[in-house]
Chain A
Amino acid sequence: MPKVTIREERCKACGLCIHYCPKGVLGPSEKFNAKGYHPTEVKHPEKCIGCTICAQVCPDQVFEVYR
């Protein structure tokens, strides 16, 4: 099953990945990271198709994608 890993400490919560994810896998986390943002987290891992769109639109190199 495809999988994304998230480097939460780098995330600035711009929301581009959440907006562009075609399957609605991602969402904002409840917790804060060290920068004070609510980082993106994987809400629905079972929906991920490993398309890498989140990694491509991310300005902060947060994602790595496995398939």
Chain B
Amino acid sequence: MSTETMKKVYSIPESLRNRPHHYCPGCGHGIVLSIVGELVDELGVRDRAVGIAPVGCSVFLYEYYDFDCVQAAHGRAPAVATGLKRANPDLFVISYQGDGDLAAIGTAEIIHAANRSENFSTIFINNAIYGMTGGQMAPTTLLGQKSQTTPYGRNPNTDGFPVRVCELLNSLEGPYYLERVCVATPQDRVKAKKAIKKAFTYQLEGKGFSLVEVLSQCPTNWGMSVLDSVKWVKEVMAQTFPLGVFRDKGQQK
């Protein structure tokens, strides 16, 4: 049967441009890229969506999305998002940050944006390493995990402990919605899409700050095969960064 007479049950999101991206094979960024594209299409907000690209692996976000994007200075995506949203509240603002961007150089910005409960959605990709620069230790690197700058494993005496961003932000009054998900298996991908959709819906309802942390595999810099890396996310990384909803004011009675 030719494809013209069949029903298309999965099509490439219209919010994505037809150009190949630079992510390594098996990278979780590509999956989250699809999820966000699908949701922008589903919610019909493409004409007023603004994506904010961070510095890091996802720096070329504006090349891949077919809606407006801004590239923020390192770690300053929440500040740019605040400005955009306050100047034009009709915009649909998606701030997309990695762990080097959000949890290291941009810690101050994210904490204060969350504390003010600015009405935008943050997607935080946590792969426990600095991907773009070649695998140095990130604040989220697990204890004992080897990286370029911790060749004998992360040592808490000299390198500190992994930063748990959801737990950290959960101590504030401001955030409306905080959840940690991963994209290691198809089931997790469904949960991740649900979580990001919830964050986007809360923004459209004007509820306030929401953040979805996505544990993402980085096979290249972890020095693993793709299948080992998705297993590692589920079995090792999720021990330090437990999955689940940390705050959902929409569910509270």
Contacts and interface: CB of A to CB of B under 8 A. Distances in A.
A55 B186 CA distance: 10
Given A56-B10, A67-B7, A16 B230 contact: yes
A63 B20 contact: no
A59 B24 CA distance: 9
Contacts of A65: 8-10
A39 B68 CA distance: 32
Q: Which range holds the interface residue count of chain A?
A: 20 to 34
Contact of A66 (B3, B33, B185, B190): B3
A24 interface: no
Interface string A39-66: 0000000000010110111111101111
A15 interface: yes
A9 to B, nearest CB: 8
A56 B186 contact: yes
The B interface is mostly helix, strand or loop, or mixed, namely mixed
Interface string B111-145: 00000000000000000000000000000000000
A66 B8 CA distance: 4
Given A64-B8, A65-B10, A59 B20 contact: no
A52 B9 contact: yes
Contacts of B20: 9-10, 35, 60
Contacts, number: 81
A20 B183 CA distance: 13
A64 B11 contact: yes
B232 to A, nearest CB: 14
Interface string A2-43: 010100011011111001100000000000000101000000
B30 A67 contact: no
Interface string B7-21: 111111100100011
B1 A3 contact: yes
B189 interface: yes
Contacts of B1: 1, 3
A20 B9 CA distance: 18
A16 B189 CA distance: 13
A46 to B, nearest CB: 13
Point out which of A3, A56, A61 has the most chain B C-beta atoms below 10 A from its C-beta: A61
A61 B8 contact: no
12 contacts: A3-B3, A14-B26, A14-B219, A19-B227, A20-B186, A52-B10, A59-B28, A63-B10, A64-B11, A65-B10, A66-B7, A67-B6
Interface of A: 1, 3, 5, 9-10, 12-16, 19-20, 35, 37, 50, 52-53, 55-61, 63-67
Interface of B: 1, 3, 6-13, 16, 20-21, 23-31, 33-34, 185-186, 189-190, 219, 226-227, 230
> Which 6 residue pairs spanning A and B have beta carbons closest together?
A59-B30, A14-B26, A12-B25, A14-B25, A66-B6, A65-B10
